[in-house]
Amino acid sequence: MSGAVITGAGHALPATYTQRDVWDEFFAAQYDGVRAAERVFMAAGVTTRHAVAYPGDEDLTQWGTGARMERYITEAVPLGKQAVAGALDGAGLAPGDVGLFAVATCTGYATPGLDIRLASDLGMSLGTQRLLIGHMGCYAALPGLGAVGDYVAARSRPAVLLCLELTSLHVQPALPELEQVVTHSLFSDASAAVVIEPGAGRGRRIAATVARTDPATADHMTWDVTDLGFLMGLSPRVPDVLGRHVGGVVEELLATAGLRSEDVAGWAVHPGGPRILDVVRDTLGLAEEQLSASRRVLAEHGNCSSATVLLVLEELGDVDGPVVALAFGPGLTLYATLLLPA
């Protein structure tokens, strides 16, 4: 056996709230007078979400970025610690076994960083290497898996990848735009971690990664740092752009292992929204049931940015056969990872 294998997974979620409650208690007033706002908000495919800062209890719209970053560290440390501890327990490893600890996030920053604070709190070795994957957005877990997997294969040491996003800290002052209604209807908080080991005989082996970026559409999805937190721009044209590229990316990915689409046992598609899942389904010719794990994660957790595709992989469980993970984000960028049985 060789290569890098995912052997453990864990996640942690803050308080849960319903889509209906957050509309009634906060966003209904924010978007009063915006035609179709409630219909768009409730059509996001989300039933419940999670937040460290629930808008119905505290209004952060006028908070400065500095205050939001302070809150990020306060909330992120316990969530990250719980997710990583769960992943290590699942793999049967101790924190001192970890050779590389990587953290992906686009919703909060501090120095010393979350990676340093968590490595210390968890009891990782003083010699543990660290990697921060910042501001890549929703697809960051997959390049993260690729980089961490390369380390594991080359160094024959275990590693941990943590994806932690607290999007609730970036609720924005209301604008009379449906684009903003869409972003506020989707995003959620979560922490998810995986352990990757060299040559393990159980789990999913990271077999290949393919990326595609369409810079001509870079303005379709943005995540800008402002004085009032981070501001998302999200064009309704995003699903159509992804539809132009996803077929070629998946074909290229599967060709690395001599596979075809019908050989894939599980699809872990980042649920950026209902239309994105519809486009992936129709472009790849998948049955609706093949996206059931992604739909459930969207309904139960919302779009948790980089953590989401790891939640979908957990939701898939121990499917018998190849798994394709797909995630999308700013760039516009599409990443695909092939996972094979160890």
- Reported confidence tier of residue 234, pLDDT bands at 50, 70, 90: confident
Question: At residue 160, does pLDDT exceed 90?
Answer: yes
Q: 58-72 pLDDT, tens per residue? A: 999 999 999 999 999
Name which CATH class applies to 4-198: alpha beta
Cα 100 to its chain centre, rounded Å, is 20
What pTM does this model have?
0.97
pLDDT in tens, 17-65: 999 999 999 999 999 999 999 999 999 999 999 999 999 999 999 999 9
* Both structure tokens of 176: 């009379």
Determine which of 100-109, 119-128, 153-162, 214-223 has the lowest per-residue pLDDT on average. 214-223
- Per-residue pLDDT tens over the stretch 83-111: 999 999 999 999 999 999 999 999 999 99
**pLDDT at position 300, please?**
98
Q: State the pLDDT at residue 280.
A: 97
Burial 234-273 (b: 16+ CB within 10 A, else e): bbeebbebbbebbeebbeebbeeeebeeeebebbbbbbbb
Q: Is 138 a catalytic residue?
A: yes
Q: Does domain 204-341 have CATH number 3.40.47.10?
A: yes
| Separation CA 97–CA 39 (nearest Å) | 50
Whole-number Å distance between alpha carbons of 134 and 144: 10
* CB-based contact 167:107 (threshold 8 Å): yes
pLDDT of residue 2 exceeding 70, the answer is: no
Is it the case that residue 1 has pLDDT exceeding 50? no
Location of each CATH 3.40.47.10 domain in the chain:
4-198, 204-341
Residue 148 burial (CB count, 10 A)? 27
Identify the pLDDT of residue 318. 86
DSSP state of 26: I
With 50 as the cut, is the pLDDT of residue 116 above it?
A: yes
